[in-house]
Structure 1
Amino acid sequence: MAFEGFSFNDFWDDCEYAKKEYISNPPTDELISEVEQELGYKLPESFIWLMKQHNGGIPVNTCYHINKPTSWAEDHIAITGIMGIGRDKPYAICGELGSRFMMEEWGYPNIGVAICDCPSAGHDMVFLDYRECGPQGEPKVVHIDQECDYEITFLADNFEEFIRGLVNEEVFNS
């Protein structure tokens, strides 16, 4: 089972902005199939499971530790929100500011699916990376930094590992 032993009790910040820009109704199996077909990638089971519980939003813990500097920080990346499965919210993976938009309008490499935007307002993103596994496989999670010539930095072996690794920004402010 996905996220065994992980509590989502205090995971989401359901503020008005999150409700307006990110959070959609739980996706139906039909919508998931349509979105996968539109994007050309099978979404990871852990991503689908989480979106069926809470379809997109802003997590309380928005930082992820890395061992190299980016245009954001010396030792971590930050996300603004997690894109849900759908088209109805601006920050949904097939929404107005979703995955296709980021590749077509911002020039991000076509390596998979954009799943998290960052506080830089489009200058860096978190993607599901299907380069090694192919469009039907289990993608890794990467950070792409537009400010550093679209440098790709590995974050996690899978979506669940990425979610489990998110920490509060206060960890880096001490």
Structure 2
Amino acid sequence: MSTSEPTVNPRFAEALRQLGLEVEVRGFSEATRTAAEAAAAVGCELSAIVKSLIFEADGAPVLVLLDGASRVDVERVREVLGAEKVKRADAALVRETTGYAIGGVPPFGHRNRTRVIADRGLLEHPVVWAAAGTPHTVFALEPKSVVAHAGATLADVRESAA
């Protein structure tokens, strides 16, 4: 159930203002913290959801943007970065790096600037939906715009289909 006036996360609202972006932030009474929850709330394909995932590469945080139906291939991320070791970040590092809790991390507007990799699969949709700073808010944008505003490098980092 969509709410009429969502509470927009102040950090995300400021990021939108600084980027000159005008997007509609949609709020929901039910959680949208997982890709499946977000897709069900919005009424879109799971692959049209942007997952914003923080990894740790040789001790440094890295943001990976991926479609909601896919999983990250950590070895591919390691190769793209030229890192020795890549692992999923814990909740504390996610919040420290982005300023947001897991389940509400948007693709841009983070507390700290980090390296960003976007999987090319995101470009397969005319519009994608991403978290807007809380586990109950999302926004829609063209995927090329998401990639550009996030300062992402495009790469193939999703697991191959079996």
TM-score range, shorter chain: under 0.3
Calculate the TM-score normalised by the size of structure 1.
0.27
More strand by proportion, 1 or 2? 2
Calculate the TM-score normalised by the size of structure 2.
0.28
